[in-house]
Structure 1
């Protein structure tokens, strides 16, 4: 149970933290020059919720709406996907910082996630080759036969996180790294639906 609480704490910390006032590239030191974003200044998501290959978006019940906020400075939406049941199998959250359209420093989220995950004894690996960077977090508790992995990426002023169910348990970093292609495919579908 301790691992599950740590995993949930990491998810909440990663989702809640962030200082939009900085403009350095993710992971850069404070004296480093900002690097230009490879992405446009994102403003919204095509269709309100992204299309995820092989997943059906939930359109009824409490997860049927694109829950979030939309104003001049920010855009945030959370979308659920699944074939049956009241709880989404896949849950995606997109946060767009409209107040800093050139680039947003998302390293605060990654650093907080790493601290929370390591202190709980869970796993975290980088997901290279997606967006401007990415990572995955897994609870390696032995009692979880169908784990859910938190995968995240960022692109310019947009940050995406997805709770992705896996078919088998994740016991070590090699297991988690072995799921990278599946995780990056989900994140890539979301990135494809960002709109400037």
Structure 2
């Protein structure tokens, strides 16, 4: 799970209750990156995340892995023994949530994600060849507000695949293409890239 950058491509299905109920399905991409202290690609540096964990009284010292997509960034935070200790995520409004997490049958569950009058529930299968992420948002006194399910398969990482995933027409990673490509440092060109460059 940890180590080199991984790219996941698939579909996200979203449903919402307000201002009018509706749903949509679209293609989407998500990038998995193990954090260091460089703050590369606009992601939060590992030391900053560990500082937040320490202030919250949560274990840290192990890998911090970011799952990054358009308008969403999720950090899986591990203790020094490698056990998952917390989930940190930034929602589409830029609000940061940090809560203890547990692993049950290979599924990461957010134990508490309350912020103001909103509660976030998150289930994610430990990333491997496939990635499954389910998010539910409820508002106090009003119930269901939003839900999203992301299902994807891991794809080979190359400068070409990263560029495609960053493109807005793919419904992909969003943000600056340069930020996405910075995660590709040291990646060897794939055959399709060599053909394009010829």
- Same structural fold, with TM-score higher than 0.5 when normalized by the shorter chain: no
**TM-score for both structures, normalised by structure 2:** 0.29
**TM-score for both structures, normalised by structure 1:** 0.30
The structure richer in helix per residue is 1
